Amino acid sequence: MKKDASYGKRDHSLKQRMESIPLTPMIDVVFQLLIFFVLTFEIPDRLTEMPIFRPGPDDSEDQEATLLQNTITIYADPDGNAPYTLNDRGSISLSSLENYVFSVADNDPTQTVVIKATVDSRHKHLVALLNLMMDAGLENISLFSVK
Amino acid sequence: MKSKSDIEPVNLTPMIDIVFQMIIFFVFTLDLEREKFDKELEIAEAKKAPEIIEFIPASIYPQVLRDGTVKIGSAVVNERTFRGIIQGAIKNSGGRTDIPVLIYAEGETPHKHIMRIMDICSQEKLYDIRIIGLLEKSK
């Protein structure tokens, strides 16, 4: 009985000490953290990636000479025309290219398709073409830059 | 009227619980890799390409603006600095040259600016070059 009473006394003093711990600074800090996270939180954009093969500066001429087929060139389009040509045979729209790209992929998705982008062409046209090739399942895409 | 001693202390435990849960949520959803991209840039859509689920650590993310400005994170870099960053990344990875370079460029950027970046990468023997497209813009 005596033991129990002293235990109860100790418990009571511990409770008193616990009650005396000031929680205010911790709550202050926690709220500061919360406000920081709430204000800086933003949902990120969902992004995609399109791998390309970029020939090294030394071997670009050799590779260009061997890869004459399946070449799509992207031009600048100041007049809003279709900026693509297929195997240097006149202007072609992206929707027309779609058939070609899918037929190439159906035959052999591992065959190399060469994109030649002129220096003044817009990046969005390259992205649109790469997007089409990814959709078709083409795996080997080489990108050359031409003047 | 109640005296001061009659007012019971407010139980703060549930509130602290919720606040800590919220902090844990924000800490775990914080994606520092994605912070490397400037959301103001108008990048071209590529909805059919594979989505980037997770960014490979030590990748290099050059951002190319339509006027040719190149940024790494929020810092504008010139060609020399960009080359130095690449060389540093190769050195830090023990000479590995399979470090991916993800080019995040505005749709209206002329290709010549992208070409400069890719040329520097290939001169430094980095051939894992990827073009980033937009799948879905967050609201």
Number of domains into which chain A is organized: 2
Entry pTM: 0.76
* Contact residues on chain A for B54, CB-CB shorter than 8 A: none
Same structural domain, A26 and A96: no
Task: Calculate mean pLDDT across residues A92-118.
Answer: 85
Say yes or no for a CB contact (<8 Å) between B26 and A27. no
Q: Taking CA atoms, what residue in A is nearest to B114?
A: A123
Interface test with A, best of B10, B35, B48 (most A CBs within 10 A): B48
A94 part of a folded domain: yes
Same structural domain, A68 and A14: no
Domain ranges, residue B111: 34-131
Query: What stretches of chain A show up as alpha helix (H) in DSSP?
Result: 2-19, 24-40, 60-66, 94-107, 123-136
pLDDT recorded at residue A78? 61
pLDDT band at residue A117 under the 50/70/90 scheme:
confident
Say yes or no for a CB contact (<8 Å) between A49 and B109. no
* Contact residues on chain B for A23, CB-CB shorter than 8 A: 12, 16
User: Higher-confidence residue: A112 or B33?
Assistant: A112
CA distances from A110 to A60, A123, A137, A138, A142 (A): 20, 25, 9, 6, 12
Same structural domain, A97 and A25: no
B54 part of a folded domain: yes
pLDDT recorded at residue A90? 75
By Cβ distance, the residue of A31, A57, A119 closest to B122 is A57
Same structural domain, A64 and A135: yes
Say yes or no for a CB contact (<8 Å) between A44 and B138. yes
B13 part of a folded domain: no
B117 part of a folded domain: yes
Rounded Cα distance, B102 and B86, in Å: 12
* Contact residues on chain B for A43, CB-CB shorter than 8 A: 138-139
Percent with pLDDT over 90 in chain A: 7
Rounded Cα distance, A111 and B135, in Å: 26
A139 part of a folded domain: yes
User: Higher-confidence residue: B62 or A82?
Assistant: B62
B126 part of a folded domain: yes
Looking at the complex, report in whole angstroms how far the Cα of residue B38 sits from the nearest Cα belonging to chain A.
10
A47 part of a folded domain: no
Helices A94-107, A123-136: inter-axial angle, 10-degree rounding: 40
Domain ranges, residue A8: 2-40
Task: Calculate mean pLDDT across residues A116-121.
Answer: 86
pLDDT recorded at residue A1? 46
B72 part of a folded domain: yes
CATH number, domain at B68?
Answer: 3.30.420.270
B18 part of a folded domain: no
Residue A145 has pLDDT above 60, yes or no: yes
A28 part of a folded domain: yes
Same structural domain, A136 and A95: yes
pLDDT recorded at residue B54? 81
Q: Taking CA atoms, what residue in B is nearest to A54?
A: B127
Coil, strand or helix at B102: strand
Looking at the complex, report in whole angstroms how far the Cα of residue B82 sits from the nearest Cα belonging to chain A.
18
pLDDT recorded at residue A68? 58
Say yes or no for a CB contact (<8 Å) between B127 and A53. yes
Task: Calculate mean pLDDT across residues A124-131.
Answer: 90
pLDDT recorded at residue A109? 84
CA distances from A91 to A75, A94, A146 (A): 9, 10, 17
Residue A7 has pLDDT above 80, yes or no: no
B28 part of a folded domain: no
Looking at the complex, report in whole angstroms how far the Cα of residue A111 sits from the nearest Cα belonging to chain B.
18
Same structural domain, A75 and A29: no
Q: Taking CA atoms, what residue in A is nearest to B136?
A: A46
Q: What is the ipTM, given to two decimal places? A: 0.79
Say yes or no for a CB contact (<8 Å) between A131 and B48. yes
Question: Per residue of chain B (139 residues), what is the pLDDT tens digit?
Answer: 556 666 777 787 888 889 889 889 888 877 666 667 787 888 899 999 999 888 887 889 999 999 999 999 888 999 999 999 999 999 998 888 889 999 999 998 999 999 999 999 988 988 899 999 999 887 7
B70 part of a folded domain: yes
Q: How, if at all, do strands A91-92 and A84-86 pair?
A: antiparallel
Residue A67 has pLDDT above 60, yes or no: no
By Cβ distance, the residue of B22, B51, B106 closest to A46 is B51
**By C-alpha distance, which of B75, B93, B89, B95 is closest to B120?**
B89
Q: How many CA atoms lie within 13 A of B94 on its CB side?
A: 0
Write down how long chain A is.
Answer: 147
A50 part of a folded domain: no
Number of domains into which chain B is organized: 1
A52 part of a folded domain: no
